[in-house]
Each structure stands twice: as C-alpha cells, then as structure tokens.
Amino acid sequence: MPLTCITGHPAGQWTLVVPFKGGPGAKSRLGHAGHGGPGLRPDVRSGLALAFLADTVAAAQAVPEVADIVIVSSDPAVLTAIPDIVLVADPGAGLNAAVAAGVEWARVQAPHCPVAALTGDLPCLLPLDLAAGLGAAAQHPRALVPDRDGTGTTMITALPGRELIPRFGPGSCEAHTRAGHVPLPVLAASTLRLDVDTVQDLNRALHRGTGDHTRSTMLQPPPRAYGTHYASGPTPPSALTAAAV
C-alpha cells in the first residue's frame, strides 16, 4: 500500500511553499528607474505583486504533481484573490523566515511528500516548465533552480526526510549550492527561471507573455491624476511610464 500525505494525496506529490510580502512595500526594486524605464509607484507595485503571485499559483495548480500550495503571507488580499490554497501567517522576520514557516507546516501536515519553495514572482510560468523542474528535482535529495542570471534562485526542493533551510537573498544560488542543493539543468529560457524584480525584467516578461492576472493588471488605466490615456488594445511595455513614481 503506497504512502500517503496527511492531506490524502499520494506520496511523491509536492507541497509547494510560496512566500508573499504584499502591501505597499512589495517588489520594491520595481520602484527603481533603470534601462527598462522609470520606477513604478507603490500602489502599482502592490497590484503587480499580487498579480504575479496569482499567475504563479495558477500555473502550479495546473501541475498534477503539485498536491498542496502553501502561501506564507500576512496580506489579507491573498485570501480573496487566490482560491484553493493554504495560508500560513508570515512571522515577519524576512523572506527566509517566511519560507521556513511554510516548510514547517508542510513537514507536519505532509511528512511523506517532497517540498519545494517557489518564488511568487513568475508571471510567465508555464505548468510544463514547473512540472519538468519538479521531475528533475525528484532525482536529488536537495535541488535548486537558478534565476535567469544564474546568481539568484527561483526554487529550492527537498525530498521527504531531508532538511530544507532557505538561503534566499543576494548570491542565493551559490549559498543554496553550498548547503547541498544540486543546481538543476533547467534551460535559461525556461519560464521557471523568469522571475521579475526590476522594470527591465517586467518588460521582458510582457514581451514573453504573462498569465492573465498580470496582463489584466497592466491593461488597467492609471489614475487620471497620473496622466496618460491609452486607446483600447494591449498596453505596450512603454506604457509603464504611466505608472511611474
């Protein structure tokens, strides 16, 4: 008789932990001007952060290998914006503490299932890419997926019985590797590596093609006080100027 998680899903299916800061301080680097254009206002960043999360979760929910999705956040907007998830309170001690809280929940509730921590800023994520990443991760006690640049991390994983201690932050790919996570051979073009931190990243994501939530958020007109009216039709990346600080 196969092992099962406490949730009733067969062992081998993943519990996915996704941290989410939310609020006006979300995605602060999108507030910085760069080669991709001017920085974005706090209200725009907050809306986009929630849209990124919704698109990330929507892709994960379409992956049969994902049994449960745990979002760690203290933003109440998550409950109404994203259905069919478990919400764990953010302890308020930073990103790694938030991930650790979600992993602790997963280890108690589903001890026989592998666990993965995934960043919530992957608006281009395709279910096939996530499924491929999880399939590769199942071959290693601990594994990681680097970001586009190869210095950061978009996903870390651990099989049942293996400790997973998050080390997100600058240089996280190297830090996770030193901790025993095997870098997976995921192509640089995979949507599993396309996290959005900067305005330039956002422009790239819009050109690549995002999920419905991000696309809908980008098409919303800015407040009249901030200026520009756009004709109907897709909003080009250059229209980010209307949401600038």
What is the longest distance spanned by two Cα atoms in the chain?
64
Could you identify the residue written with the tokens 């600058």?
A: 170
Q: Which of 125, 165, 113 is nearest to 144 (CA)?
A: 165
In this predicted structure, the answer to whether residue 13 has a pLDDT above a threshold of 60 is yes
Q: What percent of the chain has pLDDT over 90?
A: 72
Residue 233 clears pLDDT 60, i.e. is over it: no
Lowest mean pLDDT among 80-89, 206-215, 228-237: 228-237
Give the Cβ contact number of residue 32 at 10 Å.
13
**Predicted local confidence at residue 238, as pLDDT:** 43
